[in-house]
Chains A and B, each alone.
Chain A
Amino acid sequence: MQFLSPGEIVLRVLIQLIPVWLSLAVILGLSLVFRRKLGLYGHVVASGVGFAGLFLVGFWLFAAIFARHIELFDPLGQIPDLQFASPGAIDPHSHLPYLFGGDKLARDVFGRVIAGARIVLIIAPLATLLALSAGIMLGLPAGYFGGRVDAVLSFLANMVLAFPIIVLFYLLVSPGILETPIPYALAAVFFAFPIVLLGVLFITGYRARPEALALRLALTLLAGAWLFATFVFNADPFKLIQVSPSTLNIFVAVALASGPGIFRIVRSLTLDIKTREYVFAAQTRGESAWYVMLWEILPNARGPLIVDVCLRIGYTTILLGALGYFGLGMPPESPNWGTMINESSRFMRIYVHPALPPALALMSFVLGLNLLADAIREQSLRD
């Protein structure tokens, strides 16, 4: 069997990633050129930490988008001769190399790491957005009204927070639970939050302009219907996205795990902002409670919320990895980073190369998000 030399491996990896380098160069270059006109984003790009964070996050974002063009082999395909092959081993049939070697089942580690980015970059941001809309919808009234609403909601949030995540995952993300209506009921609740949030946002904001309101409400309902059809019932009318019940289960578990944290942040921000003068002004004008919450308080809470969302996408990625590591929810052959780490960690004493790439991939993506959050926090404090 023939092998590429280490230098050739590096060169070939760089070549395979050309679509990623080009996209990154365009996006980061344009951002740097127009940084003075881009407000907070411009400041973040121009700071060293922010640039590093954007680079790492952008790298994995474009790697996920162009995954099909980057990988040399099907991430699920096996070539029996290449079991535990060393990095750079060349497949005698196609004359293409296993750049990072082969794993226990003779699959291409490089392709699987790239394909794993797809899974993470679809699930982690979406699940975080679900948790965010739930946190906003419940945290605003809890902080604004206080009293009994706050007592009940805070008790529920603290209850979920007191529950060790790992126990929650073991109970909620087991194959048996898919036979019960629990994941679907929870998913219906969680996917309702963004729709209700947008609906209330438009109803309170566009009361004076019925045509604009009708258009926005119709769009929200259409998007909501598609969301429900695709994610909750796995019946996408356009047949674009397949969401299996076990993936839905992961969505629900991850959103449930990070929702209460966002709730607490929104609640404390609301408690702080509701004493400001512009809130009193809106109340004196006779605006409704939800108008004040969504159009006066929420926009002024956006800075800390953006930072928290960045951190939380990273945290969700870590949770997804943990789920994969314990073999919960994901199909065993799926190329997600957690499962890959778990599989290869059993042979770590003998074969190092299948374990390292997914571990470093997961770490660098989370590091990028953390750096980005740090830069945003620093730059928004400076203003």
Chain B
Amino acid sequence: MASFLARRLGAMLLTMLCLTLVVFYLVNLEPNLRKLAISQTEMHASDQQLESWLVKNGYRRPFLERYAAWLGIWPKQPNIDPKTGVATPRFSFCDEPKTPKFSGVLQGDLGCSTHFRTRVVDKLGPAVEATAILMFWVFVVMIPTALAIGVIAGMREGSRADRALSILSIVTTSTPEYVSGVVLTIVFAAWLGWLNGSAAQATEGHLSFYNFALPVATVAILGTGYVARMTRASMIEVMNAQYIRTARLKGLSFGAVVLKHALRNALIAPFTVIMLLFPWLLTGVVIVEVMFRYQGFGQALVDAAGDNDIDLLLACSLVSVVVVLLTQLISDIGYAWLNPRIRVH
């Protein structure tokens, strides 16, 4: 187990290193650097002004040197005025150092957001927290619903309840967030007026059923159908197993067999699926946050991409890659732990 964990963590670190290098390369392409310079200088700046802004703020230093500085294995350089030789911090709004200093991801410094004019940590911290709240409620709604649908459908394969619930889950897996968001808003906000079509207030700490139900439901819908289908398949497999027949034949009631014998084994597979759902939910969260104006991780990502805010984009990629890789690891370990027949090597 220990060597399995060590190898997995090693592969994770290598993946993160490669991916951040790719992202770093993409955000530093010439057109993207120009986009950044345009957003940071005054309107109608000439090409020469854009270029001098890029040179002044160190974006023309060698690519690998800047990547190393972002990582924290090379000192970050302040701006040095070419005439006077006086060193000034790169971005005053982030209190960056005046002297060369090792200050990168390894030291816990994610850099400076040029779009929000603040440190990336200060922007991303609250944003991730807001998204975590959204995700928490999504899971609270999604998992019990999905498991209940899956278990009831898989309990008696081919019954009328099974048919109806299976069709319901296929329909929900075919409904992406931007479709369910539109349909739910039209029905519950525009026609019935029961719920708010904007979650902007929820960001400011006024979280209520009225403004938060629609975003949560929108994200939950796609995943619910998917998890329900997996639960159903797993339940059907368990219900056909020998020990269930034995339990029935020794005279136990159907309900007791389902609750005491089948359920525990049927819920192993969905656990893995739920964990692997995270990368999907991440995309959904971005769409929903934009649609319902909720200031979370997704909104920060979209804003950062709009202005090519290099440090914030890198930090967003890092956060999402860590989330995806960690959930994969948890799913593997959890699967082995829940199912003693599987051994990890």
Contact = CB atoms under 8 A, between A and B. Distances in A.
Given A326-B302, A348-B197, A167 B317 contact: yes
B127 to A, nearest CB: 15
Contact of B26 (A172, A321, A344, A352): A172
Contacts of B23: 167, 171
B320 A179 contact: no
B31 A177 contact: yes
A355 B186 contact: yes
Contacts of A162: 15, 19, 279, 321, 324-325, 328
A338 B11 CA distance: 36
A363 B35 contact: no
Given A164-B320, A171-B23, A322-B283, A179 B189 contact: no
Interface of A: 155, 158-159, 161-167, 170-172, 174-177, 179-180, 182, 314, 318, 321-322, 325-326, 338, 341-342, 344-345, 348-349, 352, 355-356, 359-360, 362-363, 366-367, 369-371, 374
A161 B301 contact: no
B170 A164 contact: no
A227 to B, nearest CB: 26
B313 to A, nearest CB: 8
B178 A342 contact: yes
Given A167-B316, A352-B190, A363-B179, A370 B197 contact: no
B77 interface: no
A349 B176 contact: no
A158 B15 CA distance: 8
Interface of B: 11, 14-15, 18-19, 23, 26-27, 29-32, 34-35, 170-171, 173-176, 178-179, 181-183, 185-186, 189-191, 197, 279, 282-283, 286-287, 290-291, 298, 301-302, 305, 313, 316-317, 320-321, 324-325, 328
A314 B316 CA distance: 28
Given A175-B31, A326-B290, 4 more contacts: A164-B279, A322-B176, A345-B178, A348-B197
13 contacts: A159-B15, A162-B19, A164-B321, A165-B283, A171-B27, A174-B32, A176-B31, A314-B174, A338-B178, A341-B182, A342-B178, A345-B181, A349-B189
B182 A356 contact: yes
Contacts, number: 134
For the complex of A and B, list the 5 residue pairs with the smallest distance between their C-beta atoms, beginning with the closest. Answer: A176-B31, A367-B174, A170-B305, A366-B174, A164-B320
Given A325-B287, A341-B182, A370 B170 contact: yes
Given A159-B15, A164-B321, A176-B32, A367 B283 contact: no
Nearest to A349: B190
Contacts of B26: 171-172, 177
Contacts of A352: 186, 190-191
Could you say which of A171, A342, A363, A369 has the most chain B C-beta atoms within 10 Å of its C-beta? A171
Could you say which of B179, B186, B316, B328 has the most chain A C-beta atoms within 10 Å of its C-beta? B179
Contacts of A367: 170-171, 174
A226 B181 CA distance: 41
Contacts of A355: 182, 186
Contact of A370 (B173, B298, B317): B173
B105 to A, nearest CB: 17
B120 to A, nearest CB: 15
Nearest to A344: B182
Contact of B176 (A171, A176, A362): A362
Given A159-B19, A171-B27, A355-B182, A166 B283 contact: yes
A180 B189 contact: no
A24 B41 CA distance: 58
B291 A345 contact: yes
A318 B180 CA distance: 12
B22 to A, nearest CB: 8
Contact of A348 (B31, B35, B182, B283): B182
B29 A164 contact: no
A286 to B, nearest CB: 34
Contacts of A322: 176, 178, 283, 287
Given A164-B320, A321-B178, A370-B173, A348 B190 contact: yes
Contacts of B32: 174, 176-177
A64 to B, nearest CB: 18
A352 B19 CA distance: 42
